[in-house]
Structure 1
Amino acid sequence: MDRIPELFGSLVFNDETMKERLPKDTYKAMKKTIEEGKSLDLSVANVVANAMKDWAISKGVTHFTHWFQPMTGVTAEKHDSFISATQDGNVIMEFSGKELIKGEPDASSFPSGGLRATFEARGYTAWDPTSYAFIKDGILCIPTAFCSYGGEALDKKTPLLRSMEAINVQALRILKLFGKTDVKRVVTTVGPEQEYFLINKSDYLKREDLRLCGRTLFGAKPPKGQELDDHYFGAIKPRVVAYMKELDEELWKLGILAKTKHNEVAPSQHELAPIFSSTNIATDHNQLTMELMRKVADRHDMACLLHEKPFDGVNGSGKHNNWSISTSDGVNLLEPGKSPYDNAQFLLFLCAVIKAVDDYQDLLRISVASAGNDHRLGANEAPPAIVSMFVGDELEGILESIETGKPYKGKSAGEMEIGVHVLPHFRKDTTDRNRTSPFAFTGNKFEFRMLGSTFSISGPNLVLNTIVAESLAQFADELEGAPDFQASLKALIQRVIREHKRIIFNGNNYSEEWVAEAEKRGLLNLKSTVDALPLFISEKNIALFTKHHIFTETEMHARYEILLENYGKTLHIEAATMLDMAKKDILPAVASYINELSQCAVRKASVSDTMDCSAEKALIARLSASLARFYQEIEALEAALIQAEEKADPRESAESYHDGVLAAMEELRRTGDEMESMTAKKYWPYPSYSDMLFSV
Structure 2
Amino acid sequence: MALKNVISEVFAIDVFNDAVMAERLPKKVYAALMKTIEDGEELDHEIANVVAHAMKEWALEKGATHYTHWFQPMTGITAEKHDSFISPASNSGQAILEFSGKELIKGEPDASSFPSGGLRATFEARGYTAWDCTSPAFLREDAAGVTLCIPTAFCSYTGEALDKKTPLLRSMEAINTQTVRILKLFGHDDVKKVECSVGPEQEYFLVDREKYLKREDLIFTGRTLFGAMPPKGQELDDHYFGSIKERIAAYMKELNIELWKLGILSKTQHNEVAPAQHEMAPIYGTANIATDHNQLVMETMKKVAKRRGLECLLHEKPFAGVSGSAKHDNWSLVTNTGKNLLEPGKTPNENIQFLLFLSAIIKAVDENAVLLRMSASNPGNDHRLGANEAPPAVISIFLGEQLEDVINQLIETGEARSCKQGGKLNTGVHTLPELKKDATDRNRTSPFAFTGNKFEFRMVASSMSVADANIVLNTIVADALCDMADELEKADNFDIAVHDLIKRTLTNHQRIIFNGNGYSEEWKAEAKRRGLPNTPTMVDAIPSLIDARTVEIFEKFSVFSSKELHSRAEVNYENYSKTINIEAKTMIEMVNKQYIPAVIKAVKGLADSINSIKTAVPSADVSVQSDLLIQCSELLAKAKAAVVNLENIVATAATKAEGKERAIYFKDVAAKAMEELRAPIDELELIIDKSIWPVPTYGDLLFEV
Tell me the TM-score range normalised by the shorter chain.
over 0.9
Equivalent of 1:485 in 484, 494, 499: 494
Equivalent of 2:663 in 636, 654, 657: 654
2:465 counterpart SS class:
coil
Equivalent of 1:64 in 37, 59, 67: 67
Aligned to 2:650: 641
1:89 counterpart SS class:
coil
C-alpha distance in 2 between matches for 1:193 and 1:479? 37
Equivalent of 2:525 in 507, 513, 516: 516
Aligned to 2:630: 621
Equivalent of 2:110 in 103, 106, 127: 106
Matched, 1:261 2:261: no
CA 409–182 in structure 1, closer or farther in 2 if over 3 Å, else same: closer
Aligned to 1:97: 101
Aligned to 2:544: 535
Superposition deviation, residue 412 in structure 1: 2.0
C-alpha distance in 1 between matches for 2:337 and 2:665? 51
Would the aligned equivalents of 2:407 and 2:416 in 1 still touch at CA under 8 Å?
Answer: no
Query: Which residue identity does 1:593 align to in structure 2?
Result: A
Superposition deviation, residue 378 in structure 1: 1.6
Would the aligned equivalents of 1:587 and 1:627 in 2 still touch at CA under 8 Å?
Answer: yes
Matched, 1:459 2:468: yes
Aligned to 1:689: 698
Runs of 4+ in 1 over 6 A off after TM superposition: none
Query: Structure 1 residues 409-418 or 445-454, which shifts more?
Result: 409-418
Normalised by the size of structure 2, how large is the TM-score?
A: 0.98
1:273 counterpart SS class:
strand
Matched, 1:316 2:317: no
Aligned to 2:445: 436
Aligned to 1:366: 374
Would the aligned equivalents of 1:387 and 1:523 in 2 still touch at CA under 8 Å?
Answer: yes
**Post-superposition CA distance 1:536-569 (Å, at most 9, x none):** 1111111111111011111111110000000000
Query: Which residue identity does 1:126 align to in structure 2?
Result: A
Aligned to 1:2: 5
Query: Which residue identity does 1:588 align to in structure 2?
Result: P
Superposition deviation, residue 83 in structure 1: 1.0
Matched, 1:582 2:595: no
Superposition deviation, residue 649 in structure 1: 4.0
Aligned to 2:338: 330
C-alpha distance in 2 between matches for 1:3 and 1:605? 71
C-alpha distance in 2 between matches for 1:649 and 1:239? 46
C-alpha distance in 2 between matches for 1:330 and 1:71? 33
Aligned to 1:352: 360
- Figure out how many residues of one structure are paired with residues of the other and give that number: 696
**Post-superposition CA distance 1:314-343 (Å, at most 9, x none):** 000000000000112321000001111111
C-alpha distance in 2 between matches for 1:28 and 1:606? 94
Would the aligned equivalents of 2:402 and 2:421 in 1 still touch at CA under 8 Å?
Answer: no
Query: Which residue identity does 2:78 align to in structure 1?
Result: T
Query: Which residue identity does 1:427 align to in structure 2?
Result: K
Equivalent of 2:157 in 135, 149, 172: 149
C-alpha distance in 1 between matches for 2:157 and 2:134? 23
Unmatched 5+ stretches in structure 2: none
C-alpha distance in 2 between matches for 1:3 and 1:679? 50
Equivalent of 2:120 in 90, 106, 116: 116
C-alpha distance in 1 between matches for 2:187 and 2:639? 71
C-alpha distance in 2 between matches for 1:397 and 1:572? 49
Normalised by the size of structure 1, how large is the TM-score?
A: 0.99
Matched, 1:42 2:51: no
C-alpha distance in 2 between matches for 1:525 and 1:412? 34
Query: Which residue identity does 1:5 align to in structure 2?
Result: S
Query: Structure 1 residues 620-629 or 640-649, which shifts more?
Result: 640-649
1:362 counterpart SS class:
helix
C-alpha distance in 2 between matches for 1:102 and 1:562? 26
Aligned to 2:207: 199
Query: Which residue identity does 1:92 align to in structure 2?
Result: I
Aligned to 1:80: 83
Aligned to 1:132: 136
C-alpha distance in 2 between matches for 1:644 and 1:588? 27
Within 5 Å, give how 1:144-543 maps onto structure 2. Answer: 144-404=152-412, 405-543=414-552
C-alpha distance in 2 between matches for 1:188 and 1:407? 28
C-alpha distance in 1 between matches for 2:670 and 2:207? 29
CA 684–168 in structure 1, closer or farther in 2 if over 3 Å, else same: same
C-alpha distance in 2 between matches for 1:645 and 1:441? 45
1:65 counterpart SS class:
strand
C-alpha distance in 1 between matches for 2:177 and 2:19? 29
C-alpha distance in 1 between matches for 2:249 and 2:655? 49
Superposition deviation, residue 29 in structure 1: 1.4
C-alpha distance in 2 between matches for 1:644 and 1:372? 20
**Post-superposition CA distance 1:481-514 (Å, at most 9, x none):** 3101111101100000100000000000000000
C-alpha distance in 1 between matches for 2:288 and 2:182? 23
Query: Which residue identity does 1:133 align to in structure 2?
Result: A
Query: Structure 1 residues 438-447 or 631-640, which shifts more?
Result: 631-640
C-alpha distance in 2 between matches for 1:340 and 1:37? 34
Query: Which residue identity does 2:608 align to in structure 1?
Result: Q
Query: Which residue identity does 2:52 align to in structure 1?
Result: A
Query: What is the root-mean-square deviation of aligned Cα atoms in Å?
Result: 0.8
Superposition deviation, residue 678 in structure 1: 1.1
Would the aligned equivalents of 1:35 and 1:328 in 2 still touch at CA under 8 Å?
Answer: no
Superposition deviation, residue 615 in structure 1: 0.6
**Post-superposition CA distance 1:150-177 (Å, at most 9, x none):** 0010000000000000000000100000
Query: Which residue identity does 2:374 align to in structure 1?
Result: I
**Post-superposition CA distance 1:183-209 (Å, at most 9, x none):** 111000110010000000001000000
Aligned to 2:57: 54
**Post-superposition CA distance 1:100-153 (Å, at most 9, x none):** 000000000000001111111100000000000000121000000000000010
1:638 counterpart SS class:
helix
Query: Structure 1 residues 30-39 or 547-556, which shifts more?
Result: 30-39
Equivalent of 2:615 in 606, 617, 623: 606
Query: Structure 1 residues 321-330 or 94-103, which shifts more?
Result: 321-330
Would the aligned equivalents of 1:127 and 1:145 in 2 still touch at CA under 8 Å?
Answer: yes
Aligned to 1:550: 559
Superposition deviation, residue 534 in structure 1: 1.3
Matched, 1:17 2:20: yes
Query: Which residue identity does 1:452 align to in structure 2?
Result: A
